[in-house]
Amino acid sequence: MEINREKYIKDIKRIVVKIGTSTLTHSTGLLNLNRIESIVRQIADANNKGIEVALVTSGAIGAGMGKLGLKTRPKTIPEKQAAAAVGQGVLLHMYEKIFSEYGKTAAQILLTKEDILNRKRFLNARNTFFTLFNQGVIPIINENDAIAVDEIKFGDNDTLSAMVTSLVEADLLILLSDIEGLYDSNPKENKEAKLISHVSDISDSIKEAAGGAGSSFGTGGMITKISAAEIAVKAGSSMVIVNGAAKNIISQVLECKDVGTFFEAYKHPLQGRKCWLSYNTLIKGKIEVDDGAAEAIVKHRKSLLPAGILSIDGVFEKGDIVSIVNVEGSELARGITNYNSPDIDLIKGDQTSNIEDKLHYKTYDEVVHANNLVIL
């Protein structure tokens, strides 16, 4: 499907660029200095055009491997943390040096999942980013791999970059990879594989096309990029996957060239709070609802009332995020609960008018208000 990318790119004001480990390093694990210099130059040039840029970079562990003389990627968590602790300083020093040569100031921001998934810290991070943008600074972001075990064991910077894209309300996310984009099958196994130029809907067939492991020094594959695309487009941002080794590839993207795979932003994106809810994984419990409540929530975008609740699972407090599931156990929605789990257990299946009699207080008619619900 052909699309006029200029419609999505010509007026952009803010972008996020994500550089993968395979783009940043040679096969030895050592930094590819020519590649880094080229990417930084293109980012500086985009910034000179008035585009605000945030850079999400992988490579801390890879850079640490080079500094420590390691030939293969560490396998244990402590070894990975040590390599990341050494490599992060190497990586930042390199970025600062090259950005300064182009008259740009860079700032380091190390994030963990909790910084994104905790609403208060999420909002604090937004304020920091916006202040840096206002002062002409280019934020350089990475996961805090030296401390956050989960980020090394389960995380990937594709997802992080999409979350940052949502957080800073960027117009476009550029994923620099070691492949030209998304193919209809694995090009490493099928020589007839065709590049998919445009994706307007992330369907099951698109997810099936995504596959294959990443490089020996990275943690992500194409499937993580598709997951990142889902987060970005829901937030109203477009995304493009391109080969980071291609000459002037960021400039080509910003000039609306037909390169890589372009994911079209949702025409009706989720509002900020609901977008945050949709990818928040700090689920504290589950609420099972009957068929009537399921239909009311999904089809009619109604609030969840006590009458439709069949059971609860987990221990949670008022203000926690809960998963709402149907009788088959499929997740329908996520939302912020107005009552804690013991109180919901007391009022489940009952009418709203009876809440005060059961609990001896009533703050809300709704267990989860529609404004605090996101349909999945």
> Would you list which residues are annotated within the binding site?
18, 58, 145, 157, 177-178, 219-225
Q: Which residues are annotated as a binding site for substrate?
A: 58, 145, 157
* CA nearest neighbour of 241 among 161, 176, 303, 286: 176
DSSP state letter for 339: S
What ranges in the chain are assigned the alpha helix state H? 6-9, 21-24, 33-48, 60-68, 77-101, 113-117, 119-134, 149-153, 157-168, 204-209, 222-234, 249-254, 272-278, 291-298, 341-347, 355-359
CA 321 to chain centre: 18
The rounded distance, in Å, linking the Cα atoms of 341 and 313 is: 8
The rounded distance, in Å, linking the Cα atoms of 375 and 135 is: 37
* CA nearest neighbour of 294 among 308, 312, 307, 283: 308
Q: Which residues are annotated as a binding site for ATP?
A: 18, 177-178, 219-225
Sheet holding 309-313, edge to edge: 309-313, 283-289, 321-325, 331-336, 373-375
Q: What single string gives the DSSP state of each residue in 261-306?
A: EEEPPPSSPPPHHHHHHHT---EEEEEEE-HHHHHHHHTT-PPB-G
Helix axes 119-134, 157-168, angle to 10 degrees: 70
Please name every residue paired with 242 in a beta bridge, in sequence order, or none if there are none.
Answer: 176
Q: Using DSSP, state whether 56 is helix, strand or coil.
A: strand
List of residues 6+ apart from 187 with CB closer than 8 A: 179, 193
Rg (CA), the chain: 23
